[in-house]
Amino acid sequence: MTSKYSTPSYVRGILREKGYSIKKKLGQNFLVDQNYVDKIVSAAQLSPADWVLEIGPGLGVLTAAMAEQAGKVVALEIDRELVDVLQETIVLPNVTVVPGDALAGNWQEILRGLGWSGEPVKLVANLPYYITTPLIMKALESELPFQAIVVMVQREVAERMVAPAGGKDYGVLTLAVEYYCQAELVTNVPRTVFVPAPEVDSAVVKLTPKPPAVAVPHGKLFAAIRAAFQQRRKTIRNALKPLAKEWGLSLAQLDEALTEAGIKGEVRGEVLTLQDFARITESLMQRCTHGVR
> 59 or 223, CB closer to ligand SAM?
59
- Cβ pair 38, 108 in contact under 8 A: no
Residue with the shortest CB distance to ligand SAM: 56
- 5 or 229: whose CB is closer to ligand SAM? 5
- Alpha carbon 194 to chain centroid distance? 20
Cα separation values, 276 from 121, 143, 220, 221, 261, Å? 32, 27, 14, 10, 7
d(CA 82, CA 55): 13
Q: Is 128 in the site for ligand SAM (CB under 6 A)?
A: yes
Q: Which is nearer to ligand SAM, 59 or 278 (CB)?
A: 59
Distance (Å) of CA 48 to CA 61, 65, 109, 121: 19, 13, 22, 11
Residue 22: C-alpha distances to residues 57, 58, 90 (Å): 14, 10, 19
Is residue 183 within 8 A of residue 210, CB to CB? The reply is: no
Q: How far is the CB of 108 from ligand SAM (least distance, A)?
A: 16
Work out the end-to-end distance of the chain between its first and last CA atoms, rounded to an integer number of angstroms.
Answer: 55
- Per CB under 6 A, 92 contacts ligand SAM: no
Q: In the bound complex, what is the minimum distance in angstroms from residue 66's beta carbon to ligand SAM?
A: 10
CB of 190 to ligand SAM, least distance (A): 14
Which CB, 197 or 252, lies closer to ligand SAM?
Answer: 197
103 is an interface residue for ligand SAM by CB under 6 A:
yes
Q: Give 37's contacts (C-beta < 8 A, 6+ positions apart).
A: 3, 6, 31, 61, 62, 65
Size of the site for ligand SAM (CB under 6 A): 23
Helices 274-286 and 218-230, axial angle in degrees (round to 10): 110
Q: Which stretch binds ligand SAM (CB under 6 A): 96-104, 203-211, 214-222, 282-290?
A: 96-104
Establish if 178 lies at the interface with ligand SAM (CB under 6 A): no
**Interactions with ligand SAM, residue window 26-85 (CB under 6 A):** 26-31, 55-58, 61-62, 76-79, 82
Are the CB atoms for 212 and 180 separated by under 8 Å?
Answer: yes
Dihedral angle, C-alpha 30, 36, 38, 44, nearest 10 °: -90
Quick one: which segment of 22-30, 90-98, 180-188, 239-247 binds ligand SAM (CB under 6 A)?
22-30
158 is an interface residue for ligand SAM by CB under 6 A? no
**146 or 277: whose CB is closer to ligand SAM?**
146
Residues in touch with ligand SAM (CB under 6 A): 26-31, 55-58, 61-62, 76-79, 82, 101-103, 126, 128, 131
